[in-house]
Amino acid sequence: MTVKQEEKAKEGKYLTFVLDKEEYGLEILKVREIIGIMKITPVPQTPDFLKGVINLRGKVIPVVDLRVKFGIPELEYTKETCIIVVEIEKDGKPMTMGIVIDSVSEVIYIEEKNIDERPDFGTNIKANFISGIGKVGGGVKMLLNINEVLTDEELSTMEEIGKQN
Amino acid sequence: MTAKKQKKEKSSKKEKKISKTTDEIKKFIDDIAAEIIICDTGDLAALGEVSNRIDSFKEICKKKKASRLEEIINDCSSLADIVFLNPDDEESENILDLLREAFSILQKNIKNLDDKGITKCKDISSWQETADKKLGRVGSKDTGSDDANADEIDLENEDLINEFAENIPSALDFIEQQILKMENKEGNEKDEREALLRKIHTLKGEAGFLKLSSISKLFHQMEATLEEPLLCKKKGFTDLFLSTVDFIREHQQSGNAGSCDYSVKTQLILNFITGKDQDIKSESSSASGEYRQDAKQIDETVFFDFISESQEHIQTCELGLIEIEKNPNDMEILNSLFRSFHTIKGVSSFLELNSIRDLTHAAETLLDDIRKGDRQMDEGIVDALFDSIDILKRLVENPKIITTGEGGSEFQADYDRVLQLLNDIKEGKKISSTGNVGASKGKMIGEILVEKGAVSKTTVKKALEQQQEHPDKKLGEILIEEKDVPARMVAEAIREQKTSPMSEKTSTATVQTDFVKISTEKLDHLINMVGELVINETQIEHSDVIQRSDDDVLLRTIRQISKVVKEIQSISMGMRMIPVKQTFQKMERVVRDIARKSDKKIRLDLLGEDTELDRNVIEKLYDPLIHMIRNSCDHGVETPDARIKKGKSDVGNVVLNAYHQGGSVVIEIKDDGNGLDRDAILEKAISKGLAEKNKTYTDSEVFNFIFAPGFSTAKQVTSVSGRGVGMDVVKKNIDLMRGKVEITSEKDKGSVFYLKIPLTLAIIEGMVVEVGKERYIFPTISVKKFINYIEKDITHIPGQGDFVNDRGDLIPLYDLRKILQNNNENSNGATKSVLIIDADGKEIGFITDELLGQFQIVIKTLGDTMKNLEGISGGAILGDGTVGLIVDPTGMKKYCEEIGSNNCNKEVKKRITEKLNEVKNNLKEA
């Protein structure tokens, strides 16, 4: 397994959203679109966090529930619940995926000076998926490295499991 | 703009009288040196004067054959031009310094000046090196700064360029006439030549002024050629110039005379001047020589056009050869064969693909002999021609071999062998008439001239006789020498002859103008969107508002839209469909080869060739078909002796048939041979551990064993088949296409293989079932039947699972709810149905909640992350826009058997958690 170079969050526009009371930021360039929650078709033999697939204008794309992914208890989906369609890169190929979050907040511009490195929790805990902490107003937003969130290892595990079963 | 004026002056001044004394050169050097010192980069007038002087100086050097000096001055002239064109560029000052340096060096060496110019010149070599560097570097920089000023200049020059372009046709006509006059030796040779020279010089000047550097360079080389009276008499001069004129004219007609790249032609003329073209010309006329030069920079599109065109021709040839074997005297087929070879040859020689050209030439010559009746078509010839087709195929399929000439030693050996074979056959009977040589070029010059009414047949005959005495002379030359025909006519005829293979090409192209090539990606996108349109349309049609509406106009419009949308859908689906004809026809060749090799007589009948299938399916069908056909021919059909013993005709019959059945297409491969040996297969299967000894198997189960990898009952492995790979390939490929293979067979009567394949890979006919809240799709092709779930018909074997007794058949049952949803709740007593499917020849049943019906399903991939799911082959967008999963029956059966319907829930969960934990641990460790 190769340890990847950690990517530091860059100055720029971020889409912020709420997940279990916390605010997160997602680099706007990675976001393709935001859609309201729709029926997700579950797929057997896949990990729990992979909620299933949806029809995005004729294209079938996988959807990951960030709550499950981050180990937060699941909630019933509401009108506020959204799917953010992001484009990530897997094995050098672009791949479209949806992530389920509680609600979308706003798009903000975060300046370089307002981005801090994520605090170190010690070596055992890997929090690569947080590329930095953005300080906006009085609060902070965790800036997500979405590529890292849907890590190669876990995505390929899904394949592995598929293969083995 | 002063620059314009200066430039014009420059070109006119170049034509001034030139002194012949060496003093003149001395004077030039002194004058320029003096002038260059006082001028600076901003002073365009002074620069223009210097530039003009340098140019005139260059002319003198050329006249005096002071080549060394000319070289230097040439560089100076280029440098001066750069300074002139980029007065504001910083670099220009440096270049000007360089120029000053050059002339001071020349001045220092002026004492070495003699008739040959400056032979010994100190320091100049190092200067030239710097100049070269500057020219190279500045050259690129030059274009850069050009771009910067481009807008300005382009606007200024646009009108002038148009004017220039408008004048080109008349100028070309003039040049052409002049060339032909010169060839004809009409009027005073010197006068004509100089008239031509003046014209081209003017053109060059204009082009140069308009910065059309490529064409200007071309004119420059033409000018250089014309300045040498000897060169103008050199063989090939007329052809070269006429073809150059044609070349320019062609580009002019397409509207880009000025801007396109003429460097190839320029190089050709340069070669002509330096005599480098000699070796090329020795083979054929200089015209084709120059085409071959073109090939070094073959336009890729031309090349790939050639490849695809050749493939068509190769196919025509194969079919033709098969036909001609049956009817050796059919002139029409013979002609079409000849035409195909001829066209490939024509184009390949145009593209300088020598290996293809030589081969097709040999084949063509052979065919020509037959056409003329000098030779009879026999098996040897057909075989040799087949061999050459094979080689061609390999060449065409691997353009790399063509372009690099490296096909490995094996290929080279094959190639040489075939070429030798063709030549041997040809040598077998000496060809008497010399006309053959000409014939290979298509129409002979004489023929064309007679057609044009320029000469009579007798004159041509006479000339031909003369030609035999002087074999090195061309017919046209003789005719002109004898004054039988004006040279212009001959030149026209030559041109016509040369273009004839090309005109054939264009005629095929016109047939194809009815088609538009579209990338499959675009097509897929369109089909995707149409699919969405259909869904949305249905949603509107079934929406409550519409259902409740009593607005007649609205309802009618909706119905109309619905019709139109369905029509659009069927059109877009149809766009990917092509008939199986081509693939079927390729099989003719396969059958023939096998029959040959195994000394059998086999007739192949093709039926239903017009049946259409998705392009992707057809591509994937090719391999399995070959294996099936091989199998039928090799294992199925017996040797003629054996057949006669069995009371059958000695000619075996293989039938390839395609027809629609339900939503899919069936490809039927039928032979009237041995039939499958049920006992032998079963025995082998048992010995391989595929079957159990004491179990009874149905015929179809037994026959299915032959699809196992490495399964072969053949006692002998032949060159064609018997290793047991083929059927495995068939099965795999057909499975990939979601198709099915079925076999029926009767001993000594023959066997039939049915390949049931979907019309397209994008759409399947699917049964949609509901399980819990989800819907799943089973390909209709594998669905056997639905039965009602009746509790008392179900038997539960503890620790094993359930099975249902369906009219005596005991079919294992799996609950989809448990398998697909990890859900152990029982559905609340609702009526359930059991879906019986056929997976790999074995029936299994799935318990579902409800059958929703049969639909056309557009298959969508689930993406890379989920491509390896067992039992799920993709997703589909259902009528309401949600996604349903498509079940792959074979995979699902395997999955169910592995997991077992009862404990699958725990099992799956455990595996996944284990796997995930493992990954998490790995991550932590890393």
Q: Render pLDDT for B393-429 as a digit per residue (tens, 0 to 9).
A: 877 777 666 655 555 667 777 777 777 777 777 776 4
**pLDDT, position B806:** 79
E-state strands within B570-712: 577-579, 601-607, 612-614, 651-661, 664-671
Locus of tokens 């001395």: B26
Most confident of B421-435, B634-648, B682-696, B899-913: B634-648
3-state secondary structure B730-795: HHHHHHHCCCEEEEEEECCCEEEEEEEEECCCCEEEEEEEEECCEEEEEEHHHEEEEEECCHHHEE
Q: Quick one: tokens of B124? A: 């100049």
* Mean of per-residue pLDDT scores for chain B: 72
Which class in CATH covers the domain with range A12-160? Answer: mainly beta
Q: Which of A125-134, B473-482, B911-920 has the highest mean pLDDT?
A: A125-134
Partners of residue A59 in chain B, C-beta under 8 Å: 528, 860
Q: Which residues of B touch A61 (CB under 8 A)?
A: 863
* Residue A128 backbone phi and psi in degrees, to 5: -60, -25
The answer to whether the Cβ–Cβ distance between B912 and A47 falls below 8 Å is yes
pLDDT score at B470:
63
pLDDT at B172: 79
- What residues pair up with B117 in beta bridges, in sequence order? B114
Phi/psi for B741 (5° steps) reads -120, 135
Q: Which two tokens stand for residue B284?
A: 């054929």
The confidence score (pLDDT) of residue A101 equals 92
The average pLDDT across B790-813 equals 79
Residue ranges of the domains in chain B?
299-432, 435-508, 520-575, 578-758, 763-912
Give the mean pLDDT of B724-740.
78
Contact assignment for B862 to A62 by CB distance below 8 Å: yes
User: For B557-575, what is each residue's pLDDT tens digit?
Assistant: 998 998 999 899 888 878 8
Question: What DSSP assignment string belongs to A32-71?
Answer: EEEEE----B--TTS-TTEEEEEEETTEEEEEEEHHHHTT
Choose among B579, B580, B595, B583: nearest CA to B623: B583
> In the predicted model, is pLDDT for residue B924 greater than 90?
no
In this structure, how many other beta carbons lie within 10 angstroms of the beta carbon of residue B328?
16
Pick from B539, B869, B886, B899 the residue to mutate for testing the A interface (most A CBs within 10 Å). Answer: B869
Question: Which pLDDT does position B421 carry in this prediction?
Answer: 79
Pick from A44, A50, A153: CB nearest B919: A153
Residues of A in contact with B916 (CB under 8 A): 47, 154, 157
Cα B809 from chain centroid (whole Å):
55
pLDDT tens, position by position, B56-84: 777 777 776 666 777 777 777 777 777 77
pLDDT confidence band for B278 (50 / 70 / 90)? very low
Q: B908, A45: Cβ pair inside 8 Å?
A: yes
pLDDT above 60: residue B226: yes
Is B883:A60 a contact under the CB 8 Å cutoff? Answer: yes
Chain A neighbors of B532, CB-CB under 8 A: 57-58
User: Of A44-58, A71-85, B459-473, which one has max mean pLDDT?
Assistant: A71-85
What pLDDT sits at residue B112?
64
Cβ contacts from A onto B, under 8 A: 120
DSSP structure class, residue B186:
-
Q: What is the mean pLDDT of residues B783-792?
A: 83
Q: Average of pLDDT values for B146-151?
A: 41
pLDDT the model gives residue A63: 92
The band of B199, judged by pLDDT with boundaries at 50, 70 and 90, is confident
| Residues B192-207, mean pLDDT to the nearest whole number | 79
CA B842/CA B612 separation, integer angstroms: 30
Contact (CB, 8 A) for B583 and B669: no
Chain B residue with CA closest to A47: the answer is B912
Confidence bin at B451 (pLDDT 50/70/90): low
Highest mean pLDDT pick, B388-392, B502-506, B821-825: B388-392
Q: Looking at the predicted structure, is the pLDDT value of residue B606 above 70? A: yes
More confident residue, B614 or B262: B614
DSSP secondary structure letter of residue A14: E
Q: Is the pLDDT of residue A15 over 90?
A: yes
Name the nearest CA neighbour of B208 among B199, B218, B198: B218
Chain A: give the shortest CA distance to residue B876, in Å. Answer: 8
Cβ-based contacts of B521 with chain A (< 8 Å): none
Minimum distance, in Å, between the CA of residue A7 and any CA atom of chain B: 17
Q: How confident is the model at residue A100 (pLDDT cuts 50, 70, 90)?
A: very high
pLDDT at A7: 63
Q: Write the single-letter amino acid at B253.
A: Q
pLDDT band at B332 (very low <50, low <70, confident <90, very high): confident
> Shortest CB distance from B869 goes to which of A45, A91, A155?
A45
Q: What's the CA gap between B274 and B229, in Å, rounded?
A: 14
Q: Which of B14-28, B147-161, B793-807 has the lowest mean pLDDT?
A: B147-161
Judging contacts by C-beta atoms under 8 Å, the chain A residues touching residue B911 are 161, 164-165
Alpha carbon distance B465, B483 (integer Å): 16
CB–CB contact A55 B821 (8 Å): no
Put simply, the answer to whether A41 touches B868 (Cβ < 8 Å) is: no
Instruction: Report pLDDT for A31.
Output: 92
Residue B175 pLDDT exceeds 60: yes
Q: Which residues in chain A are contacts of B898 at CB distance < 8 A?
A: 165
Distance CA B702, CA B692 (A): 11
**Rounded to whole angstroms, what are the CA distances from A42 to A47, A100, B738?**
11, 14, 23
Residue of A nearest to B909 (CA): A45
CB contact under 8 A, A39 and B875: no
pLDDT at B581 over 70: yes
How far, in whole angstroms, is CA A7 from its chain's centroid? 15
CATH superfamily of B299-432: HPT domain (1.20.120.160)
Chain B: residue nearest A2 by CA? B926
Are residues A162 and B870, on separate chains, in Cβ contact within 8 Å? yes
Top-confidence residue, B224 or A60? A60
Chain A residue set in contact with B, beta carbons under 8 Å: 1, 3, 38-39, 41-47, 50, 52-55, 57-62, 90-91, 93, 95, 124, 126, 151, 153-155, 157-165
Nearest-neighbour CA in chain A from B81: distance (Å): 49
Per-residue model confidence as pLDDT tens digits over B474-523: 666 666 666 666 666 666 666 555 554 443 433 433 344 567 777 878 88
* B578-758 CATH: 3.30.565.10
For B763-912, the fitting CATH number among 2.60.40.10, 2.40.50.180, 3.10.250.10, 3.90.1520.10 is 2.40.50.180
Per-residue pLDDT for B351 more than 80? no
Per-residue pLDDT averaged across B883-909, rounded? Answer: 71
The chain B residues in contact with chain A (CB within 8 A) are 528-529, 531-532, 774, 819-822, 860-872, 874-875, 877, 881-885, 895, 898-899, 908, 911-912, 915-916, 919, 922-924, 926
Bridge partners, residue B668, by sequence: B657, B754
pLDDT value for B515: 73
Residue of A5, A53, A91 to mutate, interface with B, max B Cβ within 10 Å: A53
Residue B501 is predicted with a pLDDT of 44
Chain segment B129-144, per-residue pLDDT in tens: 777 766 654 433 333 3
The torsion defined by the Cα of B757, B762, B767 and B773, in degrees rounded to 10, comes to 150
Band the pLDDT of B703: cuts 50, 70, 90. confident
> pLDDT-derived band of residue B430, with 50, 70 and 90 as boundaries?
very low
Chain B closest-CA separation from residue A124 CA (Å): 6
- Our measurement of the distance from residue B623's CA atom to the centroid of its chain's CA atoms, rounded to an integer in Å, reads 21
Percent of chain B with pLDDT over 90: 2
Percentage of the residues of chain B whose pLDDT score is greater than 70: 67
